[in-house]
Structure 1
Amino acid sequence: MEDCELDAGTVEIVKRSRGRHVIRTLYDADADFNCFGRAPIGTYMLATLPRSGSTFCAIRLWQTGLLGAPMEYLNFRIMGDLFQRLGYRPDKDGHIPSSQVGAYWSDVQRLRTSPNGMFGYKMFASNYYEISKKFPEFLQQIAPNYVVYLTRRDEVGQAISYSRAQRSRIWFGGVPDAPAVDYDYEHIKACLRSVEEQKGFWESVFGITGTDPIRIFYEDLLEPEFSTVTSVLRAMGIQPNPKSAITVPMTMRQTDGVSKDWRERFLEDSCREAEVNRDA
């Protein structure tokens, strides 16, 4: 972002896709703030689960111009482009050397802290677990001032979406020629268990670290007045300011009739299985 003056009007991130999916452009230099000039005043982690609308949420928070750009900077396996841009060379497993993780984090904060001094990052339970095992000393460095915990009330819908994404390997809308996958009751059940286990993992982390997260739901983010985003700002002691808003490209929502059909079939199969188990 070339213009970091809040009173200069809306700052627009220029989308230069060149055939790339919009999600990848959100890690480009065009999307950097790069204007705060020192360590962040405040930090937060967007703790979340797969298929909970986390990218949608992250962009909504980003669009305020007051909450940094909370993307997946610690999901090392998808950070190849950013590593290269910042001059880091990952190993064969997609990680940068442990001796460089701290410097990488400082570079990301320098580029992605919003003008008011706030820096955010998105974290899945699997990424947090991996870091705790491979870079345990790094957890202290990334410890945030706040945690925003995003979940989804509709766990069945989440599990269906999770099942489709895992098997098609398509995690974002707008991907051309996305492969179709068949309904699989057992796989959806496994995804539902995984969602519950990941939620349990986060609750354990919150308990161990003494964290009282700001809890929000994906469904509430769909409300047009964005009251949920306002509540997040206020929970962090930040005064909402429409003049600070910036334009950030939004990814396409993945919603279609297939998921609706799968839901009906899944609920029917669940009832049938419950009856069999009851009669056994």
Structure 2
Amino acid sequence: MPHVMERLYSAEMDFGCYDGEQRLTYMLATIPRSGSTYCAIRLWQTGLLGAPMEYLNFRFVGDILRRLDYVPHLAGEISEAGIAKYWGDIKRLRTSPNGVFGYKMFGVNYLEISRRVPGFLRQIVPDYVIYLTRRDLIGQAMSYSRAQRSRRWFAGMSDTPEVRYDFEHIKQCISSIEDQKSSWERMFAITGVRPIHICYEDLLADSAGVIRALLLDMGIPPEPADELAIPLIERQTDGVSREWRDRFAEDSARELAISAVTDE
């Protein structure tokens, strides 16, 4: 049976062929391990907010590229000439019936596109940007550390190794997350974008309330729509996370104490 992530990019999840003018386009700008897949699926399930997945992360969407008859390079990229046509195909298949199209973007993918095909950026300028972050920086960094070293980005993936707690690597992940947030916020400032900022924790606590507010902010009428049966990804929470958090707190306190003594 295919993993849920494979199904999310398959033909069974397409809306159909939308040939009208898009009412609006939005970008879900985010950072790894901030709950972006959960957020994207919650938005998708409404039937009013498109299907905001990682269509421009070419190293990740090989299946959908091949399904649409685009042959990716070994690096997972498609030719510059093919990108615009591919984008048009994606928009036709993944625009919800009310004319809304959304896509998810990590900062590293945005920067890669800006370096490789800067002219294409004009074609993906969204009407709105939803900026998703996570308040629990330590939890996010621990999750990032585990995912990077095990290559296990989603629950349910098989044949992935377990990894050991690594204080230094978690600190590196904290720094990386903060750098990625700063990078997004610099891009918002440079382009004059005022994003709609939401937090993963708020979405978990009250997804209906957060989504109602998003619809209002983007001027999307809450038209009657049947909730779509888009499968959610299982959350990756376990006892290891709690153990790592305790150890990280202890190691941080010890490091701070040593630093204080050294500075005296």
TM-score normalized by the length of structure 2:
0.96
CA distance in 2, matches of 1:196, 1:133: 22
After superposition, the C-alpha distances for 1:28-83 in whole angstroms (9 at most, x for unaligned) are 11100124313422000000000000000000000010000000000000111111
1:186 paired to 2:168 = yes
- Alignment correspondent of 2:99: 117
Stretch of structure 1 that moved more, 236-245 or 146-155: 236-245
1:73 paired to 2:55 = yes
CA distance in 2, matches of 1:230, 1:68: 15
Amino acid at match of 2:100: M
- Alignment correspondent of 1:164: 146
The SS at the match of 2:59 is helix
- Alignment correspondent of 1:100: 82
- Alignment correspondent of 2:197: 215
| Closer/same/farther in 2, CA of residues 96 and 65 from structure 1, 3 Å limit | same
The SS at the match of 1:149 is strand
1:62 and 1:69 in contact (8 A); partners too: yes
- Alignment correspondent of 2:119: 137
1:228 paired to 2:210 = yes
CA distance in 2, matches of 1:141, 1:42: 13
1:45 and 1:122 in contact (8 A); partners too: yes
Kindly state the Cα deviation for residue 238 of structure 1 after the two structures are TM-superposed.
Answer: 1.4
Give the total of aligned pairs.
262
- Alignment correspondent of 1:266: 248
Stretch of structure 1 that moved more, 188-197 or 268-277: 268-277
CA distance in 2, matches of 1:183, 1:269: 11
Kindly state the Cα deviation for residue 201 of structure 1 after the two structures are TM-superposed.
Answer: 0.2
- Match 1:252 to one of 212, 225, 234: 234
Stretch of structure 1 that moved more, 48-57 or 80-89: 80-89
CA distance in 1, matches of 2:245, 2:137: 11
1:46 and 1:123 in contact (8 A); partners too: yes
Amino acid at match of 2:182: G
CA distance in 1, matches of 2:107, 2:224: 32
Kindly state the Cα deviation for residue 241 of structure 1 after the two structures are TM-superposed.
Answer: 4.1
| Closer/same/farther in 2, CA of residues 164 and 229 from structure 1, 3 Å limit | same
CA distance in 1, matches of 2:123, 2:88: 10
Amino acid at match of 2:57: N
RMSD: 1.2
CA distance in 2, matches of 1:196, 1:159: 10
2:55 and 2:104 in contact (8 A); partners too: yes
Q: How does 1:12-161 map to 2 (within 5 A)?
A: 19-161=1-143
| Closer/same/farther in 2, CA of residues 77 and 270 from structure 1, 3 Å limit | same
CA distance in 1, matches of 2:207, 2:93: 29
Kindly state the Cα deviation for residue 25 of structure 1 after the two structures are TM-superposed.
Answer: 0.6
Kindly state the Cα deviation for residue 92 of structure 1 after the two structures are TM-superposed.
Answer: 2.2
The share of aligned pairs that are identical, in percent, is: 58
The SS at the match of 2:118 is coil
1:35 and 1:114 in contact (8 A); partners too: no
1:44 and 1:144 in contact (8 A); partners too: yes
Amino acid at match of 1:210: G
Amino acid at match of 2:53: M
Structure 2 gap segments, 5+ residues each: none
CA distance in 1, matches of 2:21, 2:178: 36
- Alignment correspondent of 1:4: none
The SS at the match of 1:94 is coil
| Closer/same/farther in 2, CA of residues 279 and 127 from structure 1, 3 Å limit | same
CA distance in 1, matches of 2:230, 2:162: 30
Stretch of structure 1 that moved more, 145-154 or 237-246: 237-246
Structure 1 gap segments, 5+ residues each: 1-18
CA distance in 2, matches of 1:275, 1:225: 41
